[in-house]
Structure 1
Amino acid sequence: MSAKPFSFPIKVLPTDIDFMGHVNNARYLNWVQDTVLAHWRKLAPADEVASKAWVALKHEITYRKPAFLDDEVIAETVLEKIKGARSFYNTVIRRGEDVLAEVQSMWCCLDADSHRPARISREVAEKCFGIPRKASAAAE
């Protein structure tokens, strides 16, 4: 069981375009990061947002189709589970019905002051992100 999807609109900028005339592959990582952080800022309580930071631990990207300048792109992410200080996201980047990329990523939550790993409380996982008790049990 997973949380509700979070959608994040993406504007393809001229600086995103590479020598081949489409969005550079590395830019997709920026989009995933922007989406995951926007998801956190939108749903987490303000005190949690202020006291936590995020770093990426792993990304696995499957590229399906290229994106181009002026495309209307949406990233849809789902926080699948929380395990200790780690959070596991699945993100799909689309242009209309076309899937451009599928990304599985793992993130580590850090204490903003000490930069040490910090767990997401079970209460925040359940109340804010819809992660069921069983999937978030390792969050505490």
Structure 2
Amino acid sequence: MSTNRHAIPITIQPEDIDFMGHVNNSRYLNWVQDVVLGHWQAVAPPDAVAAHLWVALKHEITYRRPAFLKDTDVVANTVLEKIAGARAFYNTVIQRGEEVLAEVQSMWCCIDSESMRPVRVSRDIAETYFGLPRKQERHTDD
């Protein structure tokens, strides 16, 4: 089954709360990491999961509403927008029910687990497991 979407439930813990009484902004980035890495582990084949690690290169986050300890029904939903070479681009929305708490655009780099160097995600994995469209071949007239 191929999919470019993944979601995880979020349980807010007392240690997530900051001095202002709501979830600390830094926790949102932990949730993004959890859902993105969870996506890779849930969808990619086991040999690819073992051979590749992911590191964040960039996050752009827009906070919409605060979250609180008592909140339930909080979910992180992510969509893999595209894979380009060793990079993957995700759009993650953290919600409480239908209410958007934060939106995050992030870029990740695939790393070979042995060499610890960037490595391209194979076209086969991108197409077969993540449902990303095959790049159109360029045709020229002779």
Q: For 1:1-140, what aligned pairs fall within 5 Å after superposition?
A: 4-71=4-71, 72-134=73-135
Instruction: Report the secondary structure of 1:8's partner residue.
Output: strand
Give TM-score scaled by structure 2 length.
0.91
8 A contact 1:11–1:70 mirrored in 2: no
Q: TM-score, normalised by structure 1?
A: 0.92
Q: Per the alignment, do residues 51 and 4 of structure 1 end up closer, same or farther by CA in structure 2, a change over 3 Å counting?
A: closer
Given residue 11 of structure 2, which amino acid in structure 1 is its aligned partner?
K
CA distance in 2, matches of 1:39, 1:4: 8
Structure possessing the higher radius of gyration over alpha carbons: 2
CA distance in 2, matches of 1:116, 1:102: 29
> Which 5+ residue runs of structure 2 have no aligned equivalent?
137-142
Report the counterpart of residue 139 of structure 2 in structure 1.
Answer: none
Q: Within 2, Cα distance between the matches of 1:53 and 1:87?
A: 12
Conservation of the 8 A alpha-carbon contact between 2:4 and 2:81: no
SS at match of 1:67: coil
Cα pair 1:13 1:70 within 8 Å, conserved: no
Task: Work out the CA distance in 1 between the residues paired with 2:23 and 2:79.
Answer: 23
What is the rounded CA distance, in whole Å, between the counterparts of 1:59 and 1:85 in structure 2? 17
Identity %: 68
Q: How many pairs are equivalent?
A: 133
Q: CA deviation at 1:32?
A: 0.1
Structure 1 ranges of 4+ moved more than 2 A: none
More helix, by proportion: 1
Give how far 1:4 is off: 3.9
Distance 2:47 2:53 in 1: 12
- What value does the CA root-mean-square deviation take over the aligned residues? 1.1
CA distance in 1 between partners of 2:93 and 2:64 (Å): 10
| Aligned counterparts of 1:53 and 1:66: Cα–Cα separation in 2 | 31
